[in-house]
Amino acid sequence: MSDADGAASVGGEAARRRTFAVISHPDAGKSTLTEALALHARAITQAGAVHGKAGRSGVTSDWMEMEQSRGISITSAALRIDYGGCVLNLLDTPGHADFSEDTYRVLAAVDCAIMLLDSAKGLEAQTLKLFDVCRSRRTPVITFVNKWDRPGREPLELLDEIEQRIGLRPTPLNWPVGIAGDFRGLIDRREGGYVKQRRTPGGAHRAVETPLTPEEALEADGPAWVQANEELDLLTAIGADLDLKSFLEGESTPVLFGAALPNFGVAQLLRTLVELAPPPSAPHDAAGRERAVDAPFSGLVFKVQANMDRAHRDRVAFVRVCSGRFERGMVLTHAATGRPFATKYAQAVFGRERETIDTAYPGDVIALVNATALRVGDTLFDGPKVEFPPIPSFAPEHFAVARAVDSGRYKQFQRGIEQLDTEGVVQVLTSDVRGEQAPVLAAVGPLQFDVVKHRMEHEFRSPIELNTLGYSLARRTDADSAPKLAVLPGAEVLRRRLDGELLALFSDRWRLRVVRRENPGLTLEPLLAAGDDTE
């Protein structure tokens, strides 16, 4: 194949890719929607549930034992789905606020996001934070209003909240007939069709759809049909129609209504992703230069996960293909070290299930097995050197000293703490004063500590005890400021093990303000905040 033919092939394959994440507040139904999308794309034959009911399987994307027992997503997962002539790379994200940092890393690897709203609650705190990340990255957002089969708010009220609180102009693509909790069906605004939907037992299979003519709809749904059409007239009058340009620029959001658990409206969401979500475009490297999608291979490591296969205790690096064609077995260059990196063990991932992948294109996610040298934010490339901007770490707000319960298992303790640090489960901080036997774990939320304790005991066979420290925020400092900060009350300086960066920890914002005021020459820079980082 000539270089021109190869570039054309890469460009054509990239155009078929849709790489997206689902973001939401906890309990909005994110993992349920993930299952419903896979079900409608015929990637699975029966949906699981996240409610922990007897006899129901766990969701495909929630593969960790702790996720299945608690019914929450605590780590991101990748699912590759073929649908409508496209390859959909769905990156499921943790919904709980304590795992915001994992979600942020995933958002660095997608081209579009589905913002999932609970019909009764609308925009919630965690959704707002994640949307701010999308805004900062100029990631287009499609909104799916979920749980319309349960009591909730008026649809026009929800649209107004989207526009007023986050500044996105909502452009509904479908419209519900019947108020929330009395879901009759959906009107397609662009094509004008009306579809009644009937759930299957338990919502385990695709909903049964029955198209009706306007006359049949009026006879079947009477006042609800009339009211829905009056609301549609209002939307048309105010110009709430799809504008592809403003959507791609992050100024408007297509809105769809539905209910993920009984699989209502999910098919139209899939079609919308294929039609509207952008394919991969040229990313910018660390120097601000564009890397064309048909340039030689390059990829960004956005996640590292250990022990997905308990039988082999493996370590997997998830890599978003940014440019070029990936071929299994090719020898790439690790940008951070300049060393060669072999790709013999490359796989496509569907939740916990994996299969060998021979080729991949921009937008695809490849899992490199036993990638012990790779860390989150690393770049791999072929040909001329390229390096993408690092993925920033969040500012931790919770701190605890970790110690091995059994001193005889200290090697397992060291190995486990190092692995969890590399994965980004927590940040590990050390100092000469505390020593390596008592590292400080830094987390965005306390639930991360529960994950650490569970995994240290069950995966690394080294139970730990955690002693909470009285700090609540961290600031980046330098070698000149560190000795002065170390002797101040209510402060401590530690070194981040992963990158050697110095962090100053403070008991509270008041203490930080006092230190700033009394020591104006000290270096105290904010890290990326999980929420409001004002002082």
According to the annotation, is 356 in a ligand binding site? no
Three-state SS for 285? coil
Confidence grade of residue 395 (pLDDT, cut at 50, 70, 90): confident
- Report the candidate in 88, 263, 248, 265 with the shortest Cα–Cα distance to residue 171: 248
The predicted structure's pLDDT at residue 95:
58
Q: Which residues sit opposite 91 in a β-bridge?
A: 21, 78
Query: Is the model more confident about 119 or about 445?
Result: 119
Radius of gyration of the chain (CA): 24
**Within a 10 A sphere around the Cβ of 137, how many other Cβ atoms?**
14
3-state secondary structure 330-396: CEEEECCCCCEEECCCEEEEECCEEEECCEECCCCEEEEECCCCCCCCCEEECCCCCCCCCCCCECC
Q: Residue 164 gets which letter from DSSP?
A: H
CA angle centred on 31, ends 30 and 37, rounded to 5°: 90
The predicted structure's pLDDT at residue 78:
75
Under a CB-based contact definition with an 8 Å cutoff, are residues 186 and 265 in contact?
Answer: yes
Under a CB-based contact definition with an 8 Å cutoff, are residues 174 and 189 in contact?
Answer: yes
According to the annotation, is 312 in a ligand binding site? no
- Two tokens at 363? 């937008």
The predicted structure's pLDDT at residue 308:
63
**Within a 10 A sphere around the Cβ of 277, how many other Cβ atoms?**
23
CATH homologous superfamily of 298-381 equals Translation factors (2.40.30.10)
Count of CA atoms in the C-beta half-sphere (13 A) of 174:
29
- Report the candidate in 131, 132, 128 with the shortest Cα–Cα distance to residue 114: 131
- Report the candidate in 455, 493, 451, 453 with the shortest Cα–Cα distance to residue 471: 493
Q: Which residues sit opposite 403 in a β-bridge?
A: 465
User: Is residue 71 pLDDT above 50, yes or no?
Assistant: no
| Cα dihedral 36/37/40/46 (nearest 10) | -40
According to the annotation, is 439 in a ligand binding site? no
Name the one residue in this structure whose structure tokens are 């990326």. 528
The predicted structure's pLDDT at residue 98:
64
User: Is residue 400 pLDDT above 50, yes or no?
Assistant: yes
The predicted structure's pLDDT at residue 286:
93
Confidence grade of residue 296 (pLDDT, cut at 50, 70, 90): very high
Distance CA 179, CA 119 (A): 10
Three-state SS for 415? helix
- DSSP line for 441-467: EEESSTHHHHHHHHHHHHTSS--EEEE
**Domain residue spans of the chain:** 17-276, 298-381, 398-518
Model pLDDT for residues 499-513, shown as the tens digit of each residue: 889 999 999 999 999
First-to-last alpha carbon distance for the chain, in angstroms, is: 58
The predicted structure's pLDDT at residue 499:
84
User: Is residue 60 pLDDT above 50, yes or no?
Assistant: no
The predicted structure's pLDDT at residue 527:
83
According to the annotation, is 280 in a ligand binding site? no
- DSSP line for 65-97: HHHHHHTS--S-EEEEEEETTEEEEEEE---SG
The predicted structure's pLDDT at residue 284:
93
Confidence grade of residue 7 (pLDDT, cut at 50, 70, 90): low
The predicted structure's pLDDT at residue 531:
46
Confidence grade of residue 50 (pLDDT, cut at 50, 70, 90): very low
**CATH for the 398-518 domain, from 3.40.50.300, 3.40.50.720, 3.30.70.3280, 3.40.50.1980:** 3.30.70.3280
Model pLDDT for residues 235-272, shown as the tens digit of each residue: 999 999 999 999 999 999 999 999 998 889 999 999 99
Model pLDDT for residues 310-348, shown as the tens digit of each residue: 555 678 899 999 999 999 999 999 999 999 999 998 988
Q: Average model confidence (pLDDT) for the chain?
A: 86
- Two tokens at 514? 């006092």
Model pLDDT for residues 356-389, shown as the tens digit of each residue: 899 999 999 999 988 888 988 999 999 999 999 9
CATH homologous superfamily of 17-276 equals P-loop containing nucleotide triphosphate hydrolases (3.40.50.300)
Name the amino acid, one letter, at 53. Answer: K
Please name the residues in contact with 357: beta carbons below 8 A apart, sequence gap of 6 or more.
328, 346, 347, 348, 366
Under a CB-based contact definition with an 8 Å cutoff, are residues 429 and 438 in contact?
Answer: no
Confidence grade of residue 12 (pLDDT, cut at 50, 70, 90): very high
Query: Is the model more confident about 354 or about 153?
Result: 153
Confidence grade of residue 113 (pLDDT, cut at 50, 70, 90): very high
Instruction: List phi, psi (to 5°) of 60.
Output: -60, -40
Give whole-number Cα distances, 407 to 410, 412, 426, 497, in Å.
Answer: 5, 10, 22, 21
> What's the farthest any 2 CA atoms get from each other in the chain?
80
Question: What's this model's pTM, rounded to 2 decimal places?
Answer: 0.82
Give whole-number Cα distances, 281 to 277, 380, 392, 444, 512, in Å.
Answer: 12, 18, 22, 32, 42
According to the annotation, is 93 in a ligand binding site? yes
